[in-house]
Structure 1
Amino acid sequence: MRYTMKVAELIDRMKKELNMRKYSPQTVDNYCSVLRHFSKYLLNSSVHSVTGQVLTDYFDYLKTERKASHSTLKLHLAALRFLYKEILKQEIDFDFYLKIGKPETLPVVLSVNEVQRLLDSVSNLKHKTILSLIYGCGLRISELVHLKCADIDKDRMLVRIEQARGNKDRYVVISENLLALIKKYYRAYRPANYLFEGRHSSEPYSTSSIQSFFRKAKSRAGITRKATVHTLRHSFATHLLDQGIDIRYIQELLGHKNLATTQIYMHISTFNLNKVKSPAGLLQLD
């Protein structure tokens, strides 16, 4: 009789396996969260006895009842693929590599003026430094909270992003005024390990806290458009394109594996749009 692991044991096993393969801390947390969610969906059924039909029904439930986004569906698919292919090594009649269609939507981008208003509305030094770094370096929120003090290279004016998405390190540039803000923050808070410490110095800052004070700052700044912390990363990329920076360089700064992922910003940037002259300008409209 095959030994059946309990959910808590599975989560622990998944954590160890992901860490051994050097997945990012955010990915480890996300995959474990998916496993918890999936086990609750199964109710009294065992994770070990899942069939292809159960998985099909689960993704239909996520899409139709939970109204899960494209990224959430992809996350659940990746996590369950890892569970059944790498942890349990079970053969299930289900396509774990199915293509989940992505809706043709463009990301929301704030103008430079809106970013300035947002930052001006923040009086807390720690909060302001966090939002400034996310925008000024085009960081994902998970990358920001896992920054260490040693990752700031003051002499070369670079920030090292360790084990980012895709298990790949990269460097991003920092401006003089952003470096000055970081130094001011450091003198005030004196972090020991993580640049932005949580309630305990051994823990990174909470991503939910960042999302919370971002929403408050957005409201104070009078920005009514739908925007999240990740919008600052989209704005960083678009504003670089607006300056005429080569898209391949932006790809490196963002840590995108595929250029196609970065090219979406070309649909938003005004750099090329400003070169276009409307044919109406050739007409006499008086």
Structure 2
Amino acid sequence: MNWSAKIITHKKVKRIAVYFEQNIRMQEKVKECEGAQWSTTKAVWHVEDTIENRFRFDLLPHSQSLPSREGIEQIEKFKNHLRSQRYSSSTVATYSDALKSFLVFYREKPINEITNEDVIIYNNDYILKNKLSASYQNQIVNAIKLFFQTIRETKIVVDKIHRPKRAKLLPNVLSKEEVKLLLEAHSNIKHKTMLSVIYSCGLRCGELLALKPADIDSKRNIVLLKNSKGKKDRIVPLSPKILDMLRDYYKICKPKYYLFEGQTEGRAYEARSLQLILKQALKKTGIKKPVTLHWLRHSYATHLLESGTDLRYIQELLGHNSSKTTEIYTHVSTKNLQQIKSPFDDL
């Protein structure tokens, strides 16, 4: 895969430009970065200039070197193993890039001699030294653990590789009034329908763009989500109001293969274009919060909880494996908080 990256100034802001010939896998790798954009004037994809992105695109001094020959061979074997396990192409690329960083760090050491202590040294002398985030460190730990589970002769004890302590961040949530403003901001029926379906069904961006007309079951009032995150199918209820909106949209736009298609017939709408639609809606409404598409999913879950929906059902609707993931919405729901009277009121 031939590509290169460099720091550029775009609209007076430093960005990382990524140059490559038409390549689906490389395009997906770039799109994984939050804030990835296509510049029509410079004819290049560009992403935020962060430490993580500098590492991802080989702009840190350490990442410019290569692993040992043994390391390169093992990375290829690791990729083949992940593909045989039906991991998505983006996960294969992410995990193999993370493993490459680790094996470059220990390029002078035979892989079967690497120990748990070496993982700790790597975390301290590379991850922390370069101020990489805990989430990125966690991603690398995932790759290392998965890799060493596939190696027969190793001194690594996989179960003793510790993950970084996760920051307990609350999900970002909009009020119902703010959601309504956003969803009514666009007059274009396709734009309005896409944002409305994301909120009304609690979808991830990728789940919306993968929908096909046959996935909308108007008889049972459900939406079938196939092969979602974790390669799981699930169903979510379909609002009668959304069904009416979808019927109007279908009559006008007449999609052929995907429910929401781009300018090319039969090809799914692009995520970056959908992000731009949200950005335009925010500008029209004057909402200053740094809203992303995922905020609509968080808002859906929180509003369900505040209306009395059982947490177990919300877990199913969101497709969460663990109830602990869903429980985070109890910390942003204001239903019970609003019933608490401040002692200040009695002074």
1:151 and 2:215 are equivalent in the alignment: yes
Distance (Å, rounded) in 1 between the aligned partners of 2:264 and 2:79 = 23
> Which residue number in structure 1 is paired with residue 19 of structure 2?
none
2:156 to 76, 90, 93: 93
Alpha-carbon separation, structure 2, partners of 1:35 and 1:47: 19
**Counterparts of 1:4 and 1:42 in 2: how far apart (Å)?**
6
SS of 1:170's partner is strand
Question: 1:65: how far off?
Answer: 2.4
Quick one: which of 222, 229, 241 aligns to 1:165?
229
Q: Are 2:83 and 1:16 equivalent residues in the alignment?
A: yes
CA distance in 2, matches of 1:172, 1:222: 31
Change (3 A) 1:236 1:192: same
TM-score when normalising by structure 2? 0.66
1:65 equivalent among 130, 138, 141: 130
Q: Which has the higher strand share?
A: 2
Please identify which structure carries the higher helix content: 1
Q: Once the 2 structures are TM-superposed, how far is the Cα of residue 265 of structure 1 from its aligned partner?
A: 0.9
- In the TM superposition, 1:75-94 aligns within 5 A as 75-86=139-150, 91=154, 93=156
Aligned equivalents of 1:153, 1:117: Cα separation in 2 = 28
Q: Compute the displacement of 1:259 (Å).
A: 1.6
| Structure of greater relative contact order (alpha carbons < 8 Å, 6+ residues apart) | 1
Indicate how the Cα distance of structure 1 residues 67 and 160 shifts in structure 2: closer, same or farther if over 3 A, else same: same
Distance 1:199 1:42 in 2: 43
Q: Which residue of 1 aligns with 2:93?
A: 32
Q: 1:147 to 1:79 in 2, by over 3 A?
A: farther
Contact 1:11–1:32 (CA<8 Å) still a contact in 2?
no
Shift of 1:152: 1.0
Instruction: After TM superposition, give the deviation of residue 112 of structure 1 in Å.
Output: 0.9
Alignment partner of 1:189 is 2:256: no
CA–CA distance in structure 1, aligned partners of residues 147 and 291 of structure 2: 33
1:196-215 residue pairs with structure 2 within 5 A? Answer: 196-198=260-262, 201=265, 203-215=267-279
> Who is 2:172 aligned against?
108
Question: How many residues are paired up?
Answer: 274
Q: Percent identity?
A: 35
Q: Name structure 2 gaps, 5 residues minimum.
A: 1-68
Matched, 1:239 2:303: yes
Aligned-pair distance for 1:141?
1.8
> C-alpha deviations, 1:79-133, integer Å up to 9, x for none?
44334434x6563536465233111221110011111122222343333222211
CA–CA distance in 1 between the matches of 2:157 and 2:284? 48
Deviation at 1:78, TM superposition (A): 2.5
1:180 aligned counterpart, secondary structure:
helix
- More deviation in 40-49 or 93-102? 40-49
Does residue 119 (structure 1) correspond to residue 186 (structure 2)? The answer is no
Per-residue CA shift, 1:206-254, capped at 9, x if unaligned?
3333333323322332222233211111100111111111111111111
Structure 1 stretches of 5 or more lacking a match?
none
Does the 8 Å contact 1:147/1:194 carry over to 2? yes
Contact preservation (8 Å) 1:31, 1:76: no
User: Matched residues in 2 for 1:188 and 1:90: separation?
Assistant: 61
3-state SS of 1:161 partner:
strand
**With structure 1 as the length reference, what TM-score do the two structures score?**
0.78
